[in-house]
Amino acid sequence: RKPSREQKRKGHIAMVMPMITNAGSINDLPQEARSLLAVTKYFVIGLWFFGILFALFSPISALSTLCLAIFGTYLLSEDPQMNTCYAIIRSSLIGQCCGTGGVQMLMPFLLLASINTLVDTMQLAQVFSMYGWGTLRFIPVDFLIGIWVCELAVSIICWRVLKIMLPALGTADGYQQMPGGNGPQLPGFGAGGGRPLGGPGPGGLGGQGASS
């Protein structure tokens, strides 16, 4: 039975995106990763601080920042200083939709932080190009800069944490090992799973040349 198009699509996504499931506790991570996540905590607090203040001026625009702060709180749910905030969110209606926290939240947190960083970078660039540096006198712009700094910092830190975790998850450079192979491979190549381009047989250049 041939796999469906949806199964093929999910398989391709699984090859290029490391899936973090059942990764265990933060305390089980290498020391370097734990140290980086400890620093992340302060930027997550910054996201809460600047996000709530920015919501006073632009509630809709602040939603993505507050969502990122929630993701970060879930990621750091085992931290003693973040656990109280996590428990409050977990017992709320929003928390019922987010599942459990922990290391499994690293990828969603990293993706959302990267997207927010890109969007806010373009927004700040547009503001400064149109109105100049004098916009720093406006409080909402200052809050947005604070949010941007926190988003950029957690994006870099969490990417470093992910790179540290990849060997422990059986991946290398973001690619999962294909079944039956000795390392990360593309479908149809290596470990007996393919044929050289110039080799004989159907699909090889040699076979094409012979048939022509």
pLDDT at position 211 over 80 = no
pLDDT at position 53 over 80 = yes
Question: Whole-prediction pTM value?
Answer: 0.68
pLDDT at position 67 over 60 = yes
* d(C-alpha 21, C-alpha 19), whole Å: 6
pLDDT at position 178 over 80 = no
pLDDT at position 156 over 50 = yes
Alpha-carbon dihedral angle through residues 200, 206, 209, 211, given to the nearest 10 degrees: 10
Q: What are the tokens at 127?
A: 């503001």
83 or 170, greater pLDDT: 83
Give the pLDDT of residue 3. Answer: 52
Are 72 and 106 within 8 A, CB to CB?
Answer: no
Are 23 and 103 within 8 A, CB to CB?
Answer: yes
DSSP string, 27-76: GGS-HHHHHHHHHHHHHHHHHHHHHHHHHTT-HHHHHHHHHHHHHHHHHT
Q: What are the tokens at 139?
A: 């409080």
